[in-house]
Structure formats: C-alpha cells, structure tokens
Amino acid sequence: MSDRVFNFSAGPAVLPLEVLKEAQSNFLNHQGTGANIMEQSHRGPVFDKIIQEAEADLRTLIGIPDDYAVLFVSGGASFQFSAIPLNLCKDNKKVQYIQTGTWSKTAAEEAKRLGICDVDVIFNDTKRVPTAEEIKAKVDPEAAYLYYCDNETIQGVEFQEVPEAPIPVIADMSSNFLSRPIDIKKYGMVYACAQKNFGPAGLTVVVIRKDLIKETFPFCPNLLRYSVLEANRSMKNTPPTYAIYIAGLVFKWIMSKGGLPGIGELNRTKAMMIYDTIAQSNGFWNVPAEETCRSMMNIPFTNTLGQDRAKEFMAFAKERNCVTLAGHRSIGGFRASIYNSMPVEGVEALVQAMKDYQQANQ
C-alpha cells in the first residue's frame, strides 16, 4: 500500500499488514456473528475460541510445556514491576536484579519502593550485559529470583544468552518477545507487553512456571495475583479482548513465516543491514552499545553532526517514508526499532536514507 509509512516507533509499533487486513475484513462483522469482537462477551463462545487458540498457538511457537501457565493480563508490562515481587518474595525476602538500562532499573526501583523485599542489584551498566562469570560470582542461591530485562529498548542492549542461576530467572522480554527461539525451561517466568512485537497496547503476556504460583501477601491486589489469574483463565475481570484477538492473529502470522527460527533469521538480517551501514560510515554514524550485546530489535545511533541537527535527519528520512526515528528523550540521537513486523523494504529504505544523508553532509 503506497500510503503506508515505514514506522520505526519503539512502541506502539508496526503490525503486520496481513494482520491489519484480516482484522479490517472482520471489523464490522466478525466471521458472520454480526458484531465486532470488541462488542462480544468475553465469556461467550466466540471469544472463548479466540483466547484458547491464542494460548495454543503461543505454546506451539515457543514450546511451552504443561507445567507453565500462560496468562493474558490487562495493562502494560510495568504492572509486572510490582506484581513480580508481590507474588514471588513472600517466603524469601531477598531478590536480585541485573540493571542494563532504563527498564531493569525502573523494575528494581519499584521492587525497592514496595518495601517488601531486600533488593540486591548485582550488575549496573547500560552499554553491556554481564558475563556468565560476573553473574556466577554475584548470584545468591538463597534469593527468591534473579530478574533482568532481555532487551533494553532505550539503550539498545540485548542479552545473547540466558543468565544461568540456581534460582528462578525472571525476564522482561517486552521488546524482543517472539523475535527468536528461546528455551522457556531456562526461565522461571517471562513476560512481555504486546505493543512492540505482537499486538496493540493494553495487553501483557505472562509465561510462568506453575510451581512459582503461590499464595502471596494478603494486601496484594487480586488482579495482580498470578494464582487468581490462573484460576480464572485470565478472566477474573474483563480482559482486553480485542488486543488478545490481534495477538492471536500475529501468532498465526509468525507461524506462517517459519515460526521463531524463521522470524529470528529475518530479524538478524534486518539488524545487520543497519549495523553494517554504520560500521562502513567511517565514523559518521555511531552506536553506543558494545558490539557483543547490540540489540536486534532496537538500534540507537548518533551521527557526528550532533543533537542540534537531529531533526534535520529525521525530516530527510521522512521524505523517504521512514518515520518515528527520534531517540528516547532521555538520551537523544536516533533509534530504529525493527520488530518482527518491520519489512525488509523498510530497513532498505532507512539504510539508503542514512547513506544519502551522510553523502550530503560530508
């Protein structure tokens, strides 16, 4: 479609065109029901089929065994910053956090703010991830869990390996969920908001080992209790039905692209197109993150012209149909978010804009 832009937003982000068209075709009359999904009861047979299919497809995509629960949770991933300590540290007050950027730092701060656990930050660096040796030296086998953010959206830092620990590993995968294969059995819990890689805002998916779902503090709100959410099939209250519907369509779309192995290979190809362009720019373009942990999803970058001329490049790129390239307000520069749904053609357009802009300004 000629009127579609290449949207590099960090989130809410681009969705597959095929998914948007499918949703559009059923918008007024979902599969002959005479109503939109948003208008139908979350306890009716139409939505019941949708949520069951979404869970089944997600289990197939990732390889989630029966001893893990899948929860479709209302609200953004930031709710989990509170829910995780509230659910997991009742019997063990010590928790450990790895800080590699804004979101892991915010999660640790929220755990501290609650005042219910002893928060131990075992690593703090925004340009790299810890080595296996650094984690092993600091991890406490008596702690309730080890928490980290698998991909820091703002800093563009991504873990290449799962941190190994003798305690449950909790991963915020909000910006790289379903972007590549993972071994879910290495985690106690992973969670991700939908608006980056698999749907619209307002939905978070939690995948948690069932033995970690226990009774928690009496003051923990019911809608944050994993035990309540599991017992009520994610429907203690009305879930975000339309967001779950769209997520289900995205799961099927990923399957059509070869599943996580296929989408992972495509994502690496897209990311390397940008990183190679930067590497070949003779220093005109730069990436702050260390090469060993650069994100395949979110690529922050700068140029030698400085922040004062940042809007100039964004206008230049917009003329070439590439939009939403501003870096996060906390660090400036530029950022290209190239989630699953960003087509190769969009990345090609961006790297050509980068090359043309460099040529015009040297």
Instruction: Give the number of C-alpha atoms closer than 13 A to the C-alpha of residue 343, restricted to the C-beta side.
Output: 12
Short-list 108, 107, 129, 127, CA closest to 119: 108
CA-to-CA distance for 270 and 251, rounded, in angstroms?
Answer: 20
Among 57, 150, 172, 270, the active-site one is 172
Residues with Cβ within 8 Å of residue 52, at least 6 apart in sequence: none
CA-to-CA distance for 179 and 192, rounded, in angstroms?
Answer: 12
Q: Is 140 a catalytic residue?
A: no
Among 150, 196, 270, 285, the active-site one is 196
How far is C-alpha 343 from the chain's CA centre? 18
CA-to-CA distance for 104 and 144, rounded, in angstroms?
Answer: 17
Q: Is 103 a catalytic residue?
A: yes
CA-to-CA distance for 301 and 337, rounded, in angstroms?
Answer: 11
Other CB atoms within 10 Å distance of the CB of residue 170 = 26
Q: Is 285 a catalytic residue?
A: no
Collapsing DSSP states into helix, strand and coil, what is residue 86? helix
Peptide bond into 240 cis (omega under 30): no
Among 57, 103, 253, 285, the active-site one is 103
Other CB atoms within 10 Å distance of the CB of residue 142 = 9
Residues forming the active site? 103, 172, 196
